Structure 1
């Protein structure tokens, strides 16, 4: 009986050790930057958004009551919003999805869209961004949907004049506005919003926590 108990204890110890190694491996894999894998996972949740004469990017962030919530920048939908309309369209290839502008924050340059179509929302990063972290920007620069670029976080500026701002060096262009900036764990850290006009490698993003707090539409329920 003593031998059997000892054997059972040894087996339990081995199982716990193996579980510990598996968890550690998962943590290590989560930090590996895999552009192809990130793009494959993220792209289905990102769309070119057409608002009047303007195009930008929008991405799904949550679901509630059978509807999908998406974020973009206010300046992407400003023409439609100020004109009193609320209808925009989400586009990818031959697919066109009707969406409605639900809420905006002009000061923070944010807009919440909603559609009746089921779209898988992207996860939101819980950890603070840090300089040197690798990221991918997904969007529709110059209307070219499903475009991705990569770079690193250059700086996090909590005291910027327009509010907390993420600076990154991944290339962006008009049309990227509102697109997700995604980390190695395929989680959104921010919304691509602007680039320096007279310099290269300076892109700016609104932290995703700012967008979630302002528009209140992240996650399900």
Structure 2
């Protein structure tokens, strides 16, 4: 083979080697890029989980001012003629576009017994007619309905726990839009078969009956029902699940 031919073959071999090396480098670079993308995706996922965890912790922090601001538009003073109590809107809008509310049976007992079943509910400068739809004297719960459109409060899916911070909204002694805070203290047996009362230490008085007991997640855990007159800071609430199960409006 002539010398120029040898040189040409050598050049071809060198070019092939360089091409192969470049292909290897490109492939290796592609692998590095894939690995980098995987690491970034993993970091994004972990970062998202951390953000979600932080948001969940913030969501469960107790902010009485925010809870009150969000809850008050749904809470009304109830007037039956002989008694004053509290009721609150719950769940989605009623089938007719109006609103379902919950309260204690003893708040509306006089109109229930009279057969009229008509009450007035008021909040700030709002005054509406409402009807007692259903009641359970033994469980001390009642369902009201009004044609007015009122935002409903959400209810807690889980059970209340001792030590849980709560807010109670109501109209003690007829003083509407009153807010008190405290914690779930314990659970006390009822004489009925509807499960234990929720005991809490937030101050309540006559007129609070029927008001919502709300947790840090803006959810109703119970309906304020009674207090021990011999002691302060010893209130009782009916677990919200009892009313939701009976009336199916939550």
Q: TM-score, normalised by structure 2?
A: 0.83
Structure 2 unaligned runs (5+)? 1-29
Corresponding residue of 1:138: 169
Whether 2:236 is the aligned partner of 1:204: answer yes
Instruction: Provide the rounded CA distance (Å) in 2 between the counterparts of 1:142 and 1:192.
Output: 14
Q: Which has the larger radius of gyration?
A: 2
Partner of 2:224: 192
Q: Once structures 1 and 2 are overlaid, which stretch shifts more, 24-33 or 138-147?
A: 24-33
Q: Higher relative CO (CA 8 A, sep ≥ 6), structure 1 or 2? A: 1
Tell whether 2:144 aligns with 1:113: yes
Residue 38 of structure 1 is aligned with which of 40, 47, 67?
Answer: 67
User: Where in structure 1 do 4 or more consecutive aligned residues deviate above 3 Å?
Assistant: none
How far, CA to CA, are the matches of 2:199 and 2:190 in structure 1? 11
Q: CA deviation at 1:160?
A: 2.7
Larger mean CA deviation between 1-10 and 174-183 belongs to 1-10
Question: Do the aligned residues in 1 keep the contact of 2:73 with 2:123 (CA within 8 Å)?
Answer: no
1:3 Cα deviation (Å)?
A: 3.3
1: distance between equivalents of 2:130 and 2:43? 53
Instruction: Check if 1:91 corresponds to 2:122.
Output: yes
Secondary structure in 1 matching 2:243: helix
Deviations 1:90-129 (A, max 9, x none): 1012210111110000111111001111111111112221
> Is the 1:69–1:114 Cα contact (8 Å) retained in structure 2?
yes
Count of matched residue positions in the alignment of Structure 1 and Structure 2: 217
Structure-1 residue corresponding to 2:94: 64
1:153 is aligned to 184
Deviates more, 1:4-13 or 1:208-217: 4-13
Q: Would you say the 8 A contact 1:104–1:215 is kept in 2?
A: no
Name the structure where strand makes up a greater proportion of residues. Answer: 1
The answer for the alignment partner of 2:20 in structure 1 is none
Q: Kindly report which structure 2 residues correspond to 1:165-180, keeping only aligned pairs within 5 A, or say none.
A: 165-180=197-212
CA RMSD of aligned residues (A): 1.2
Deviation of 1:217 after TM superposition, in Å, equals 1.3
Equivalents in 1 of 2:190, 2:78: separation in Å? Answer: 28
What CA deviation, in whole Å up to 9, does each residue of 1:45-72 have, x standing for no partner?
1111111221110001122321211000
Structure 1 gaps of 5+ residues are none
Structure 1 position 2, deviation (Å): 2.3
Aligned-pair CA distance for 1:183:
0.7
Moved more, 129-138 or 7-16: 7-16
Q: TM-score, normalised by structure 1?
A: 0.94
Structure that is richer in helix per residue: 2
SS of aligned partner of 2:216: coil
Mapped to 2, the partners of 1:102 and 1:20 lie a distance apart of: 46
